[in-house]
Chain A
């Protein structure tokens, strides 16, 4: 039954037996994760809007864009792919591939975080401090928050790996790894958006802001 139809029934009349329970519901953790991703998406969307507003003010200047960031993007993409592979292995019970892929995903994600830290160090060395200019402020703030979310993901991944070590491969492990993979793909997508915003020229940002209805004072 579609949601609209479900909201249009006259509940005071006798209803046919609830068909919803005939099919098993999605596990709560999967639904909970989707809601959480919605909240995190909202968080970064609001930061993005704040950035677009701030970029329209006259003191905005573009950041230099070190090549390391491209490398980091590649690392995170590879980590996401590895986790997807792990998820597939877990579903099909391929234990060796699963362990290897989990380790690779974690290592690649740590590599991404280290790479982001390296870019911070490069920026500091080049004199772009957090308060130097607004694009730099946004860069530190957004990469930092994104990194924190990924670090939280690594904790969850460790928990999934511990479960795997304890219980061996099976449906529960597969579900946990699948949830981690979903989260990883989501964080990779968020990173792509942040990358695009932070790398854009001031003119592009102004045009983008105008396209979503912002005005200049």
Chain B
């Protein structure tokens, strides 16, 4: 793969931007597709909030549509936006550049991965236009409900959803093979494992999780397709549905839940670990200080990744499974809090005695810590089995997973985009618009989700179309719901500012230079910005130091890039093309 002739720039528009095998172009394709489908999910969430905040005011949102919005919003956000953007977007862009490779090790497979992903998205979108519409079974797609009448989208929607997921899993596997093998085999000279930036570590371990967790979703999805289309009874017990006995019999709905969550819980960390890595690099760079406790941060990523495979049934405390499982899964779940807490401490200790530049990426990074802490801490309620039982299936859960898996990873994505956009396009995103975007999003999400925990304490169940006539819910809860809806609409509309910024700054942003933040990692040391096909020009970079030589005592500048030799670094020679904003 190091043959230079393999990396001559493609010339035609089609090979350069469409059938491209360049990891950077594929990263952009993945990211734009993910953002586009994510916008659909954002609109769906606002439609849901309209019904909850102002029940009945919008006629077209009937219960069927409401449950379809719930389902599609959840599935799109978790799988088609977050997973695709972190691995297919950030993973594709950053891994080869950060480890000093010319491209992914299997560029053709990489291209195929994107086109499979796009196909998965298109199949999913198609379900909005088929008779009966998309499935409304909830993103967890629990059988028997997901394939029985009484649920929207049991004609076509559920089939398209499952087919789309199967295609997505093939795409994710193709991508994951590339990411893992590239990190293992294509690191440049001197790039030892512990010299890799934490972004690469996070994405690397998340890719391994994805490779080994998605098969569980594949298995459950294929078996449910058989139950739906061929009449098998993997998950379907004997049932009388709406007065009609069905031909199914003997299957186990709980088996589906075990398989689903064996995928579903690692999935949380497939999203969280890349965010952890990106945040670590953002904080270190913008605080001009090495990440505190780098080794502990790596070990914590590995430990969290491993533990994430043995906690799945904490989603099933009230599922009717063997109650003795509760002891095991509560214990493993709370153990995982220890390495997670260490990561939070080390981020804050990196800030301490730093030289904190509150640029837009840093604002988002600190916003991430604050929101992630809430989501992590409320996880301690839900992981601890006896505390979970009153709170499960209430708005406490909704608030929890949106903080930990919605808001905080999205803030990490925003931070990452503001941070790396100048490398991708050569121009900076507009700072004033960025700050507006940050403040509304950060404070707005607090306004949405913080009070929502208290609706959960009250006992308001989730996935309800309406709450009229329940005596234990006071009228004031409706006022709170209206407030939350207004906040959600404001946050939703503000994302348009970000999209405008993304598009506008491509041509009109301030030119960034090669290394606007004064960062040490290799992607900022490319000979061209944006990097050209093959990334490194004639000579491959050689790595001489770890990724966090910020403010090294005795050095002239407050950062020493990874490719600067040890002696030169001590002498304080910065790179020739560096330049700080």
Q: Are A and B in direct contact (Cβ within 8 Å)?
A: yes
Query: A residues within 8 Å of B by Cβ?
Result: 6-12, 14-15, 17-18, 20-21, 25-29, 31-32, 35-36, 38-39, 42-43, 46-47, 50, 53-54, 57-60, 130-131, 134, 137, 141, 145, 215, 217
Give CA–CA (A134, B219) in the complex, Å.
15
**Proximity string of chain B (229-250) to chain A, C-beta cutoff 8 Å, 1 when within and 0 when not:** 0111110000000000001011
Chain A residues with CB under 8 Å of B232's CB are 130-131, 134, 137
A20→B181 contact, CB < 8 A: no
B106→A7 contact, CB < 8 A: no
What are 7 A-B contacts with C-beta separation under 8 Å? Answer: A7-B295, A9-B192, A18-B189, A42-B212, A43-B215, A47-B219, A54-B251
A18→B252 contact, CB < 8 A: no
Report which of B185, B191, B259 forms a contact with A26, defined as CB distance below 8 A: B185
A36→B177 contact, CB < 8 A: yes
Q: Is B223 an interface residue when CB atoms closer than 8 A count as contact?
A: yes
Q: Closest Cβ of chain B: how far from A79's Cβ, in Å?
A: 25
B194→A7 contact, CB < 8 A: yes
B252→A53 contact, CB < 8 A: yes
Chain B residues with CB under 8 Å of A134's CB are 232-234, 250-251
Chain B residues with CB under 8 Å of A131's CB are 230-233, 247
Give CA–CA (A58, B237) in the complex, Å.
11
Chain B residues with CB under 8 Å of A36's CB are 173, 177
Total A-B contacts with CB atoms under 8 angstroms apart: 129
Chain A residues with CB under 8 Å of B298's CB are 7
* Closest A residue to B569 using CB positions: A14
* Closest A residue to B549 using CB positions: A12
Asked whether A35 and B177 contact (CB < 8 A) given A8-B295, A15-B192, the answer is yes
The tally of residues in B whose CB lies under 8 Å from a CB in A reads 56
Chain B residues with CB under 8 Å of A47's CB are 219
Chain A residues with CB under 8 Å of B498's CB are none
Report which of B177, B184, B189, B294 forms a contact with A21, defined as CB distance below 8 A: B189
Report which of A18, A28, A141 forms a contact with B105, defined as CB distance below 8 A: A28
Q: Is B18 an interface residue when CB atoms closer than 8 A count as contact?
A: no
Chain B residues with CB under 8 Å of A54's CB are 234, 251-252, 255
**Proximity string of chain B (180-215) to chain A, C-beta cutoff 8 Å, 1 when within and 0 when not:** 111011100111111100000000000000011001
B181→A28 contact, CB < 8 A: yes
Give CA–CA (A8, B194) in the complex, Å.
8
Give CA–CA (A26, B184) in the complex, Å.
10
B259→A50 contact, CB < 8 A: yes
Chain B residues with CB under 8 Å of A31's CB are 181, 184-185
Q: Closest Cβ of chain B: how far from A127's Cβ, in Å?
A: 15
The listed residue with most A CB atoms (<10 A of its CB), out of B182, B211, B212, B549, is B212
Q: Closest Cβ of chain A: how far from B428's Cβ, in Å?
A: 30
Q: Closest Cβ of chain B: how far from A44's Cβ, in Å?
A: 9
